[in-house]
Amino acid sequence: MTHRSYPALAVEERQSSTCGRSPLNVTVVSSVEGFRSLRREWDGLLRASRSDCVFLTWEWLFTWWKWYGGSAQLLILLLSDSTGRLRGIAPLMSKRTAGVFRKLRIIGSESRVCSEYLDIIAEEGCEKDVARAILDFLLDNHRSWDTFSLSSIRRGSPFLRAFEQLPEIRRLRSRRRTQYVAPYISLPETWDELLARFGPRIRRNVRYYRKRLEKAFSVEFSSREVGLDTRHAINTMRRLQQKSISRKGIRGIFEDETFSNFHAEIMDLFHRNGWLYIVFVVCDGNPVAFWYAYLYAGTCYSYQTGFDLDYGSHSVGSVVHSFVLEDTIGKGIHTFDYLRGGQEYKYHFANSAREMLEVSIFNNSWSSLLVRFVLAFGEHLRFCVSRLMGNNLKDKLKALMKRGS
C-alpha cells in the first residue's frame, strides 16, 4: 500500500487514543494509488461501522474523486491500533478557496452528484477513540487548515456525537446548521401492509392508475438489474428527465457530461456488486418513465426519477413510484430513502425524515475568522429570505417527525 505524508503537514503518529487496549495511530494517504489499494479494507470497515451506507463505500468515493477531485488534495486518515488493525477512516480532502482559505472536508462533498450521509468511518464501539485521534491530528497540524467541514452528516451520527463531546473542541469555534431533510419510509413485510397505512383515496388511486395505464397500453416494468447497457440506460434517463422538466425551461442533470460519465462508471461498479436498481415503465415498446436507485444493506436509496410529460395524463410518475415500492418490499428491503430534495411526491408515502447537518470547525487563524464572518453573513441572508418566503424545510421536517412519532 502506498502511503505518504500530506504536503506541508508535519504528521505526528500519536498514541493518544485507544479502542479497547490498542492505541490508535494516524497514517495519511495522499496518493491516488494509495486510495485505490484500500478497497477491501475500506468496505470491510464500513460494514463494521454504524455509518454504513452506499455513499461511503470505496466504490462511490473513489469514483467521485476520479471525476470531481479536481484541484483538491487527498488527505485520507487511516486510524489503526498497535497491532495494525484498521479502526477508522477519515476520507478527507483539502482544497483552497479563493486561493487563501484551506478547507478540509469529506470526499464527495459539494458537487452536482449530491453524496448523502457522509461521515467519518469508525468501527462500532471505537467512535470516541477515532474522534479523539482525528481531533489530535487537527490540533497538531493547526497551521495547515482553516476550516474542517462535515456536510451532509446526519443528526445523531455516533462519530459526530463523540467528536463534539471532546473537551478540547472548546478551543475551536464551531458552527452547525440544518442543511436539508431526507424523507424515508420504514417498509413493512408486504405491499398490502404499506397501503393499509394510508387512507382509502390513496389506496384507490394507486390501484386505479396502474389499471388505467395497463388498459390503454401494453405495459412492461423493465428492471435493469441484469444485462445492463449503461450508456443506453443513461441516454434513456436523460431523454425522459428532460421531457419531464422541459416546460420549466431548465436542463436535466444528465445533460452534464461529467455527471453522466460519473454515473456510467458507478452503474458498472454497482451492477457488478448487485447494488444497482433501475426500473423503466415501457408502454407499447416505448420507455415513458424511470426510477434510478441503489439497493444496499437493506435500504433502497432513491437517486433520480423522471417521466415523459406526454404520458402525464396517465399518471406514469405515480405508477412507477408505486411499482418500485411494491417491488423493493418484495426484495426484502426494509427502508426506502428518498434522499434530499423537496419534491412533493416524496412526501406522499414518507412517514419520517432524517435531519442532515453541516458542521464546521474553525481554526483560530485570521483567514478562519474571515471565513466565519462570510458564513455568518450568508446565514443572516438566508434567515431574511426564509422570513419573507416561509421556511418550507422546517415545516416539512416537523410534519414528518409528527407522522413518524
Domain that includes residue 282, residue range: 188-333
| In a domain? residue 349 | no
Q: Are residues 64 and 169 in the same domain?
A: yes
Please write the tens of the pLDDT for every residue from 150-170: 999 999 999 999 999 999 888
Task: Measure Cα distances from 75 to 5, 139, 263, 330, 365 in Å.
Answer: 9, 15, 24, 41, 20
Please write the tens of the pLDDT for every residue from 34-90: 999 999 999 999 999 999 999 999 999 999 999 999 999 999 999 999 889 999 999
Q: Are residues 173 and 192 in the same domain?
A: no
pLDDT for 390: 54
**CA 268 – CA 228 distance, rounded (Å):** 8
* Conformation bin of residue 142: beta by default, left when phi > 0, alpha when psi is -120 to 50: alpha
Please write the tens of the pLDDT for every residue from 5-35: 333 333 333 344 457 656 799 999 999 999 9
Spell out the residues 6+ positions from residue 22 whose beta carbon is closer than 8 angstroms to its own: 81, 82, 83, 85, 87
SS3 343: coil
b/e sequence 352-389, b meaning 16+ C-beta within 10 Å: bbbbbbbbbbbbebebbeebbeebeeeeeeeeeeeeee
| In a domain? residue 403 | no
Q: Are residues 323 and 194 in the same domain?
A: yes
Average pLDDT over the chain, rounded to an integer: 86
Please write the tens of the pLDDT for every residue from 344-389: 888 888 989 999 999 999 887 655 565 555 555 555 455 555 556 5
Q: What cell numbers appear for 163 in the block? A: 467528536
Q: Are residues 323 and 244 in the same domain?
A: yes
| 256: amino acid identity, one letter | D
Q: Are residues 124 and 60 in the same domain?
A: yes
The percentage of the chain sitting over the pLDDT mark of 90, rounded to a whole number, equals 64
Q: Are residues 39 and 114 in the same domain?
A: yes
Q: Are residues 123 and 192 in the same domain?
A: no
Q: Are residues 143 and 202 in the same domain?
A: no
| In a domain? residue 341 | no
| In a domain? residue 220 | yes
Q: Work out how many domains the chain is built from and give that number.
A: 2
**DSSP assigned state of 5:** P
| In a domain? residue 338 | no
pLDDT for 172: 85
| 144: amino acid identity, one letter | S
Spell out the residues 6+ positions from residue 221 whose beta carbon is closer than 8 angstroms to its own: 279, 280, 281, 282, 320, 323, 327
Q: Are residues 136 and 225 in the same domain?
A: no
Cell 482525528 belongs to residue: 134
Cell 417521466 belongs to residue: 307
Nearest to 88 by CA among 33, 159, 140, 143: 159
- Residues forming beta bridges with residue 94, ordered by sequence position: 73, 104
Q: Are residues 201 and 319 in the same domain?
A: yes
Nearest to 393 by CA among 177, 109, 118: 177
| In a domain? residue 3 | no
**CA 77 – CA 308 distance, rounded (Å):** 45
Q: Are residues 129 and 236 in the same domain?
A: no
Helix (H) or strand (E) run with residue 40 in it: helix 39-47
**CA 107 – CA 72 distance, rounded (Å):** 10
Q: Of 333, 350, 383, which closes a domain?
A: 333
pLDDT for 370: 59
| In a domain? residue 10 | no
CATH of the domain at 145: 3.40.630.30
SS3 188: coil
Please write the tens of the pLDDT for every residue from 259-298: 999 999 999 999 999 999 999 999 999 999 999 999 999 9
Q: Are 308 and 288 within 8 A, CB to CB?
A: yes
| In a domain? residue 265 | yes
Q: Are residues 22 and 157 in the same domain?
A: yes
Helix (H) or strand (E) run with residue 307 in it: strand 299-307
Q: Are 251 and 314 within 8 A, CB to CB?
A: no
**CA 162 – CA 62 distance, rounded (Å):** 27
